[in-house]
């Protein structure tokens, strides 16, 4: 677990939650948080920090972590990895929906569309996204896949050999979503992921 303190209102504070019984008990090394750390390091050009949690597949622990990251740590964006399949221990979507105040179904729909380009079992994924609003603060919470390759594909989308976007990744819509809920202005490296905003919402440099 890492602990970050937000000292600049223009700085994006990201909560990263890896959910795995075996990784949290030390059976194997977690891959979700390192993959996300690397991706954000390449994708974001505006200031950011991260707060991390590694927890087992237990609904009460997941809900507790999400609430703490938004309400106490004041994260603007919280991403989970793992626990979104049909197995009995997969309860991440239920925990996410329980702490949300608004559901954002488009994110889950697009994640499955991207993954279906690679594997037919993408239809088994139950990933969801929500907004959690509390005491003058709001955050976007999203469930991501557990595998590093799938995490990258989901965030970036699909590109051809020339780098042309074939299928948009979900992160293209995240900066504007954060704008709308009162969070910091996020800027990205367009070669990794181009953020989309209406012209009226683009900040002039």
Number of DSSP helices (H) and strands (E) in the chain, helices first? 7, 8
Per-residue tokens: 126: 């139950």
d(CA 46, CA 65) in angstroms, rounded, equals 26
**Fold classification of 12-196 (topology level):** Molybdenum Cofactor Biosythetic Enzyme; Chain A (3.40.980)
Whether the Cβ atoms of residue 58 and residue 23 lie closer than 8 Å to each other? no
Tell me whether strands 77-81 and 137-144 are parallel, antiparallel or unpaired. Answer: parallel
Written as tens digits, the pLDDT of the chain (205 aa) is 566 666 678 899 999 999 987 766 676 778 889 999 999 999 999 999 999 999 999 999 999 999 999 999 999 999 999 999 999 999 999 999 999 999 999 999 999 999 998 899 999 999 999 999 998 999 999 999 988 999 999 999 988 888 788 888 999 999 999 999 999 999 999 999 999 999 999 998 7
Q: Which residue has the tokens 């008990």?
A: 25
CA distance 140 to 51: 15
The pTM of the full predicted model, rounded to 2 decimals, is 0.93
Report the sign of the C-alpha dihedral through residues 28, 143, 10, 13, in that order.
negative
Nearest to 40 by CA among 13, 62, 21: 13
Length of the chain: 205
Q: Which of 100, 109, 166, 164 is nearest to 133 (CA)?
A: 100
Domain extent listing, the chain: 12-196
């Amino acid at each position: 677990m890492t602990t970050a303190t937000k000292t600049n209102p223009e700085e994006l504070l990201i909560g990263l939650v890896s959910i795995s019984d075996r990784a949290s008990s030390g059976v194997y090394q977690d891959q979700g948080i390192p993959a996300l750390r690397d991706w954000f390091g390449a994708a974001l050009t505006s200031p950011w920090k991260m707060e991390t949690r590694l927890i087992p597949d237990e609904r009460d622990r997941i809900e507790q972590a999400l609430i703490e990251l938004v309400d106490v740590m004041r994260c603007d964006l919280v991403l989970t990895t793992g626990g979104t399949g049909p197995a009995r221990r997969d309860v991440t979507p239920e925990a996410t929906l329980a702490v949300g105040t608004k559901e954002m179904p488009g994110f889950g729909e697009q994640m499955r569309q991207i993954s279906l380009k690679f594997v037919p079992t993408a239809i088994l994924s139950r990933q969801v996204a929500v907004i959690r609003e509390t005491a003058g603060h709001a955050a976007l919470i999203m469930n991501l896949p557990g595998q590093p390759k799938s995490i990258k594909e989901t965030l970036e989308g699909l590109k051809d050999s020339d780098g042309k976007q074939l299928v948009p990744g979900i992160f293209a819509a995240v900066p504007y979503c954060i704008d709308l809920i009162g969070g910091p202005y996020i800027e990205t490296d367009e070669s990794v992921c181009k953020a989309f905003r209406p012209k009226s919402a683009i900040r002039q440099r």
